[in-house]
Structure 1
Amino acid sequence: MKRPKPLDLSHHFSDVTNNRKPSRVKSMYKYFAIPGMQNLAGGLPHFSFFPYDTLEATVASPDRFDTRVGIDPSSPSPYPPSTDQLRLKVPKQTDSPDGQVAIDLRTGLQYGTAEGFPPLHAFVRRFTRDYLHPDVPYEGGPEVILTCGSTDGFFKVIELLTNPWMEDKDWIGDRQGILCEEFTYMNAIQTVLPRGLNVVPVATDVKGMKASGKGGLADVLENWDYSRGRRPHLMYTVTIGQNPTGTLMPVERRREIYALCQKYDIIIIEDEPYWNLQYRSARNKADDGQVQEPGAASSRGGTFIDHLLPSYISIDVDGRVVRLDTFSKIIAPGARLGWVTAQPAITARLTQITEVSTQQPSGFVQVMVAKLLLSQQELTVSREEPNLGSWKMDGWVRWLEGLRGSYERRMRQMCETLDEGQIVPLDYDDHHPNGWTVVHQVPMYEFNWPGAGMFVWIKIRSDTHPLVGRYGSQVVCKKLWRFLVEEPFRCLVMPGWVFAPTADVVARATEYLRLCFAPMEEPEVAALTRRFVAGCRAFWQLKSLDDIPDDDDEAAILPEMARMHLC
Structure 2
Amino acid sequence: METSNNSIADAVRPLPKDMSHHFSDVTKARAPSRMKEFYKYFLIPNIGQLAGGLPSASLFPFDTLEAQTARPDRWTPTPNYPDPDGTLSSRLAATSISNPTVASHVVVPHDAPTSDPRKKIDLATALQYGQADGYPPLLSFVREFTRDYLHPNVPYKGGPEVIFTVGSTDGMSKTLEVFSNVWVEGKNDIRERPGLLCEVFMYANVLTQAQPRGIQPVPIEMDDGGMLPYGPGSLEDVLANWDHSKGKRPHLLYTVTMGHNPTSGVLSLERRKELYSICSKYDVIIIEDDPYWYLQYPSAAVEEAKARNLPIPEPKIANTLEKKSGYEYLDSLAPSFLSIDVDGRVVRLDTFSKTVAPGCRMGWITSSPSICERILRVSETGTQQPSGFAQVVIAETIMGPQPEASAAFAARSAKDRATFSGWKMEGWVRWLAGLRGQYERRMNRMSKILEEHAYQLKQSTPMRGSDSDWGVITKTQLYDFKWPRGGMFLWLHMRFETHPLWKAAGSRGNLIDGVALSTALMIFLTRKPYLVLVSPGLMFSATDKIRRERGWAYYRLCFAAESEENVDSCSLRFGEGVQRFWRIKNVKELEALLDDDAQSQSQSQSQRRTQDDDGAQLVNLGSWMGC
TM-score under structure 2 normalisation?
Answer: 0.85
Bigger shift: residues 380-389 or 440-449: 380-389
2:25 aligned with 1:15, yes or no? yes
Which stretches in structure 1 are left out of the alignment for 5+ residues? none
Residues 395 and 544 from structure 1, CA distance in 2 versus in 1: closer, same or farther, beyond 3 angstroms?
same
1:366 is matched with which residue?
391
- 1:334 pairs with 347, 355, 359, which one? 359
- 1:520 pairs with 542, 556, 562, which one? 562
Residues 131 and 283 from structure 1, CA distance in 2 versus in 1: closer, same or farther, beyond 3 angstroms?
farther
1:237 is matched with which residue?
255
Structure 1 segment 142-181 matched on structure 2, within 5 A = 142-181=160-199
TM-score under structure 1 normalisation?
Answer: 0.94
1:498 is matched with which residue?
539
2:519 is matched with which residue?
478
Where 2:396 maps in the other structure, the secondary structure is helix
Opposite residue 561 of structure 1, the aligned amino acid is: T
Bigger shift: residues 427-436 or 64-73: 427-436
2:559 aligned with 1:549, yes or no? no
Structure 1 segment 301-380 matched on structure 2, within 5 A = 301-376=326-401
* Structure-1 separation of matches of 2:315 and 2:244: 49
Residues 339 and 300 from structure 1, CA distance in 2 versus in 1: closer, same or farther, beyond 3 angstroms?
closer
Where 2:105 maps in the other structure, the secondary structure is strand
* Structure-1 separation of matches of 2:620 and 2:519: 18
Where 1:154 maps in the other structure, the secondary structure is helix
| Contact 2:457-2:476 within 8 A present in 1 as well | yes
| Residues 478-510 of structure 1: CA deviation (Å, up to 9, x unaligned) | 211121112221110101101012111102111
Residues 231 and 461 from structure 1, CA distance in 2 versus in 1: closer, same or farther, beyond 3 angstroms?
same
2:73 is matched with which residue?
63
2:147 aligned with 1:129, yes or no? yes
Where 1:325 maps in the other structure, the secondary structure is strand
Which stretches in structure 2 are left out of the alignment for 5+ residues? 1-8, 317-323, 505-511, 612-616, 622-627
| Contact 2:538-2:547 within 8 A present in 1 as well | yes
- 1:44 pairs with 54, 58, 64, which one? 54
Residues 142 and 300 from structure 1, CA distance in 2 versus in 1: closer, same or farther, beyond 3 angstroms?
closer
* Structure-1 separation of matches of 2:312 and 2:501: 35
Structure 1 segment 12-411 matched on structure 2, within 5 A = 12-68=22-78, 75-77=90-92, 78-83=94-99, 84-285=102-303, 289=310, 301-376=326-401, 386-411=418-443
| Contact 2:305-2:313 within 8 A present in 1 as well | no
Residues 9 and 421 from structure 1, CA distance in 2 versus in 1: closer, same or farther, beyond 3 angstroms?
same
* Structure-2 separation of matches of 1:412 and 1:490: 22
| Contact 1:129-1:142 within 8 A present in 2 as well | yes
| Contact 1:431-1:437 within 8 A present in 2 as well | no
| Contact 1:427-1:439 within 8 A present in 2 as well | yes
Opposite residue 41 of structure 1, the aligned amino acid is: A
2:619 is matched with which residue?
565
* Structure-2 separation of matches of 1:293 and 1:259: 28
* Structure-2 separation of matches of 1:410 and 1:560: 27
Residues 405 and 162 from structure 1, CA distance in 2 versus in 1: closer, same or farther, beyond 3 angstroms?
same
Opposite residue 11 of structure 1, the aligned amino acid is: H
* Structure-1 separation of matches of 2:431 and 2:325: 11
Residues 370 and 217 from structure 1, CA distance in 2 versus in 1: closer, same or farther, beyond 3 angstroms?
same
| Contact 1:277-1:453 within 8 A present in 2 as well | yes
CA RMSD of aligned residues (A): 2.6
Distance apart, 1:99 and its partner CA:
3.0
Distance apart, 1:560 and its partner CA:
3.1
* Structure-2 separation of matches of 1:148 and 1:261: 28
| Residues 408-433 of structure 1: CA deviation (Å, up to 9, x unaligned) | 00000000111111111136789689
Distance apart, 1:388 and its partner CA:
2.2
Opposite residue 618 of structure 2, the aligned amino acid is: M
| Contact 1:61-1:82 within 8 A present in 2 as well | no
| Contact 1:149-1:337 within 8 A present in 2 as well | yes
| Contact 2:518-2:536 within 8 A present in 1 as well | no
1:531 is matched with which residue?
573
Bigger shift: residues 402-411 or 499-508: 499-508
Distance apart, 1:353 and its partner CA:
0.5
- 1:412 pairs with 420, 424, 444, which one? 444
Opposite residue 504 of structure 1, the aligned amino acid is: K
| Residues 231-255 of structure 1: CA deviation (Å, up to 9, x unaligned) | 1000000010000000111111111
